[in-house]
Structure 1
Amino acid sequence: MSKNWWKILGAVLVIYTTVAGLLLGVPHLNILNETIRNLYFHVPMWFAMIVLFSISVFYSIKSLSSKSEIDDLRAVESINVGIVFGVLGLVTGAVWAKFTWGQYWSFDPKQNFAAISILLYFAYLVLRNAIDEEQKRAKISAIYNIFAFPMMVVLLFVLPRLQSSLHPGNGGNPGFNSYDLDSRMRAVFYPACLGWIIIGYWIYTIRFRIRSIENKQL
């Protein structure tokens, strides 16, 4: 039990933020109205994705020097889970956009660059499947991942700020500030981010263990 405290914490935080996110009061803002509750789900998906991709690039760098199959496996499994959270971020963002901007996909710069950043990592998986030789696959995919990560950061946090955008915090459009994100929302939003990051990491560890067992049986 003492070793699993963080798993319990993650589960409790996600349950708490899901219930509180749907039931507790929120600021009544024009256009957003009750849809602002999606902040508790949409943004944490991206934070979890970025943490998982950070783990993957760490192990990709490590695998180049260690040439360890374990490090390579950790890198690819963290990307597999990170992509799931990235897709969830796109879906929750599209639903939010439908109720605030009028359509699921308005080709806003933030939406476009977010989609491209996810495609970068789908390309990583395609690249791995295209190479049969194990050592070569690990090396080339690790190098690709090392370059993909900073490109993802630029696509998500730099380029959208250089263009006009409907998305909060980009293109001169103000982000959520102390007026929008009051104390009630902070009490749910911050735990939600931490909770989903922990759950994402938990899923990654499960996938890694399963793949490790499968590889030993081959």
Structure 2
Amino acid sequence: MRNIRVRNIFFAGHFVTFFLVFFLFLPCSQSYAGSDSEADVKPFLIIDANKQFEFAEYLFSNQEYASAISEYERFIYFFPKDDRIEPAMFKIGMAHFKSKGFRQAVNAFKVLIEKYGQTALSIKSYLMISESYAKLNAFDDAIINLHNLITITGDENIRDEAYYRIGWLYIEMASWGKAKNYFSKISAPNKDTYRLKRLAVD
């Protein structure tokens, strides 16, 4: 019984010692940790929409297309409501096209069209899709895409542009009769624009 009491006193003494040491050093450790955290504080990286877009444009203008694509995508991710999202998406398509990633260009331009419908840049995207298909020697796909553009637009100038491009695609395919047929569809005011008056009559 006496041994048990001595043992209890022994453990109680150690517990009190531990308790005192813990609370004695706790304020110091907190102060030390606080000073470390203040020393290690680093400023947050602030991404500015204008600077981000300008940086992407800079890379594009310097023909660093892979990097430009990444920066345009970063811009779209961080600033989804910015008015320049559509131009950024178009530039992604153009960057793929200029770096000969024609299949990726087609996909990028299609995403823009699906998101924005009939806008000036979506019309340009239709034209660039056809150019991309032509680069892939997928002339039938290029022609189908231009027919889709003709179907959705009510603008005579856009239709004439599509007819003109289809005509040249058929020339690439050595289908002279079909080429002549599509050139003949171009409206009279625009025949001079495309210098096709004589070709349509012959």
Length-normalised TM-score, structure 2: 0.27
In terms of Rg, which structure is larger? Answer: 2
Higher RCO (CA 8 Å, separation ≥ 6 residues) = 1
